[in-house]
Amino acid sequence: MSANTPVIELRNVDKSFGPIDVLHEISLKVRAGEVLCLLGDNGAGKSTLIKTLAGVHAPTRGEILVDGKPTTFDGPRDAQDRGIATVHQFGGTYPLMSIGRNFFLGMEPTKGFGPFKVFDRKKANQIAVEEVQKMGITRITDGDRLVGGLSGGERQSLAIARAVYFGARVLILDEPTAALGVKQAAHVLRIVNEAKKRGLAVIFITHQVMHAMTVGDHFAVLIRGAIAADFRKGEKTREEITDLMAGGETMADLEASIEGYMETHEGHPPKVATAD
């Protein structure tokens, strides 16, 4: 496998649910150590795309290539076994379970043998804390702590650390910063960078252009299920990207029209924002 072969690639992927076409001719690729930012407004088809990448949905047409080889996933578990890990907005963590138990869910370390396999709590806690700390979250020192007491950013970090530890090669992050404050979001972005440094291919889904521009190497804008723009870092400004996401309507135009309205209506903003 040459260094230039994308770890995961989609070629002309369509996905329809019955008569409804959700994705049209999506083509994208991510290489190891690269962050692909998928930008798109709500309803642009981001979640369907993630689910297709994660093996939840099979594409209606087109193909998925892993390490350059055409692949079909038999479900999310199969995709995971091939190193594709998805971390959802809330981290897929369980608030009333300890950090160690969350970290090893489904892959519990055991000691003993036969039917008397015992969950190795000490080992689980130790590894979980170590791995999270390696990701730069030094506040977590106790693997018995319940995840519900962690901040949103820490939960994300825990989930990312988990994926990295279990050998993920492609990390799909579904809006990891959407529900977070500024400081916490910065934290998560640092961890995205850390994952990238370790040679993971990262697919970062967001609608926050600022966050995307901080970590992204490559950007794709999704509008109504199709890739509307595909460019590399530095090729477009923040305003241009925002405009693209808003479906071509420039933010500047929008702002101007609202201001114009307010001037003629004694400073009231428009009551109903209509398209066009």
Partner 1 sequence: MSTQSSSDAGGFSIGDLIRRPETGSLIGFIVVYVFFASLGGAVFMGAPGWSSWLNIAAEVGIIALPVGLLMISGEFDLSVGSIIPASSMTAAILSGHYELPALVGIIGGLSVGLFVGFINGLIVTRTTIPSLIATIGSMFAVMGLTLGLAVLIKGSTSVSYVPDPVTKGLLGTFINGMFNVSIFWWIGFVAVYYFLVHVAPIGNWVFAMGGDRESARNAGIPTDKLTIGLFMASGFGAAFVGIAQVMTYQAAQVAGGQSFIFNSIMCVVIGGVLLTGGAGSIIGIVLGTMTFAVVNQGIFFAALDPNIGSIIIGALLLTAVLSNDTFRALAMNYATKKK
Instruction: Note the residues at the interface with partner 1 (CB under 8 A).
Output: 76-77, 80, 86, 88, 92-97, 101, 104-108, 110, 117-119, 141-142, 144-146, 148-149
Nearer to partner 1, 118 or 252 (CB): 118
b/e per residue 208-234 (b: at least 16 CB within 10 A): bbebbbbbbbbbbbbbebebbbeeeee
Report the C-alpha gap between 238 and 160 in whole angstroms.
Answer: 27
Nearer to partner 1, 55 or 216 (CB): 55
Nearer to partner 1, 31 or 145 (CB): 145
Nearer to partner 1, 41 or 108 (CB): 108
CB atoms closer than 10 angstroms to residue 275: 5
Nearer to partner 1, 163 or 221 (CB): 163
Q: Smallest distance from the beta carbon of 150 to partner 1, in angstroms?
A: 9
Q: Smallest distance from the beta carbon of 175 to partner 1, in angstroms?
A: 15
Q: Smallest distance from the beta carbon of 199 to partner 1, in angstroms?
A: 24
Whether the Cβ atoms of residue 12 and residue 62 lie closer than 8 Å to each other: yes
Q: Smallest distance from the beta carbon of 19 to partner 1, in angstroms?
A: 23
Q: Smallest distance from the beta carbon of 48 to partner 1, in angstroms?
A: 16
Task: Give the SS3 label for residue 206.
Answer: strand
106 by Cβ neighbours in 10 Å (0-12 / 13-18 / 19+) ranks as exposed
Q: Smallest distance from the beta carbon of 268 to partner 1, in angstroms?
A: 43
CB atoms closer than 10 angstroms to residue 5: 15
Q: Which residue has the tokens 């490559």?
A: 218
Q: Write phi, then psi, for 64 (nearest 5 degrees).
A: -110, 130
Nearer to partner 1, 19 or 115 (CB): 115
